[in-house]
Amino acid sequence: MNKFSVAEIELNKREESLAEEKLLLREKENSIIHDKVVLRKETVIKQYNSFIATQNKNTQASVYLNLVLLQSAIRSYYLDIHKYKDFSGSVWANKNKQAAYTIKWLVRFRPIQIKEGTKYLSEEIFDVNLKFALVCGFAFLDEKVVHLIKKNKKEVDFLNTTKKEGEKEDSFYDRLLYDLRYRDLSGKKLILAFEAIELAFKYSPVETKF
């Protein structure tokens, strides 16, 4: 039978006490995350209602917002954010990280689902989750940065009207949409992309091109 010294017994007691504190802290953290998910879910539903109203009639009639998938996406977002905070020791995640992880998890779960019996599946319907994810993610970014992204897309789209098919260029928005469609973009890659845009705006707010 193993015998422990007084010092070892004391260390074991402290370790057990620490484990209990961690468990209690985890329960409190889960409670906070739950409350955050509930509040954020209400916000995203409002964003969806505004977003879907801007889509064509065929898309509006063909899709719906799956609340179970939406809740899973939002919960995964907060778990990711809390992991980042624990790892970095930060209290807050900055706007680029919030935008990136929002996009990541909405694209991953694709809460906008196609209604059963839908016959005409357009490109707009297939991309609806990607565009919605960008809307929700961009809501965290600085308004000037979002304006720059939209301005770049508008200018590139206009220039493309005068170019042949093989000569057309992609705006930053369209490249991001393409990457979300065909590649598995991590939160870190999205963060880097948004940080790059911020720097581009900071040092060349007028002539910036992507």
Identify whether 3 is part of a domain.
Answer: no
Let me know whether 51 and 116 are in one domain: yes
Let me know whether 189 and 169 are in one domain: yes
* Contact (Cβ atoms closer than 8 angstroms) between residue 99 and residue 137: yes
Identify whether 133 is part of a domain.
Answer: yes
* Model confidence at 87: pLDDT above 80: no
* Model confidence at 198: pLDDT above 60: yes
Identify whether 71 is part of a domain.
Answer: yes
Let me know whether 98 and 118 are in one domain: yes
DSSP 43-63: HHHHHHHHHHTTS-HHHHHHE
Identify whether 202 is part of a domain.
Answer: yes
Let me know whether 27 and 100 are in one domain: yes
3-state secondary structure of 196: helix
Let me know whether 149 and 77 are in one domain: no
* Model confidence at 138: pLDDT above 90: yes
Let me know whether 38 and 117 are in one domain: yes
3-state secondary structure of 11: helix
Let me know whether 25 and 113 are in one domain: yes
Identify whether 64 is part of a domain.
Answer: yes
Let me know whether 85 and 102 are in one domain: yes
Q: Which residue has the higher pLDDT, 206 or 41?
A: 41
* Contact (Cβ atoms closer than 8 angstroms) between residue 95 and residue 146: no
Choose one of 94, 111, 140: the last residue of a domain. 140
**Lowest-confidence range among 18-22, 118-122, 181-185, 187-191?**
18-22
Q: Which pLDDT value is given to residue 171?
A: 93
Question: pLDDT tens digits, residue range 26-82?
Answer: 788 888 889 999 999 999 999 999 999 999 999 999 999 999 999 999 999 999 998
* Contact (Cβ atoms closer than 8 angstroms) between residue 115 and residue 147: no
Q: Which pLDDT value is given to residue 2?
A: 62
Residue type, 95: K
Q: Which residue has the higher pLDDT, 72 or 2?
A: 72
Identify whether 72 is part of a domain.
Answer: yes
Q: Which of 111, 134, 123 is nearest to 63 (CA)?
A: 111
Q: Which pLDDT value is given to residue 13?
A: 81
Let me know whether 148 and 84 are in one domain: no
Q: Which of 133, 152, 116 is nearest to 74 (CA)?
A: 133
Identify whether 59 is part of a domain.
Answer: yes
Let me know whether 67 and 16 are in one domain: yes
What mean pLDDT value characterizes the chain? 88
Neighbours of 140 (CB within 10 A): 19
Q: Residue 186: pLDDT band by 50, 70, 90 thresholds? A: confident
Tokens 């209990």 sit at which residue? 20
* Model confidence at 10: pLDDT above 70: yes
Choose one of 86, 110, 140: the last residue of a domain. 140
Let me know whether 76 and 179 are in one domain: no
Work out how many domains the chain is built from and give that number. 2
Let me know whether 115 and 169 are in one domain: no
Q: Which residue has the higher pLDDT, 114 or 85?
A: 114
Q: Which pLDDT value is given to residue 204?
A: 59
Measure the CA–CA gap between 29 and 145, rounded to whole angstroms: 32
Mean pLDDT of the 183-210 span: 76
Identify whether 164 is part of a domain.
Answer: yes
Q: Which pLDDT value is given to residue 165?
A: 85
Choose one of 87, 109, 140: the last residue of a domain. 140
* Model confidence at 109: pLDDT above 70: yes
Domain limits at 116?
A: 8-140
Measure the CA–CA gap between 11 and 107, rounded to whole angstroms: 47
Q: Which residue has the higher pLDDT, 2 or 34?
A: 34
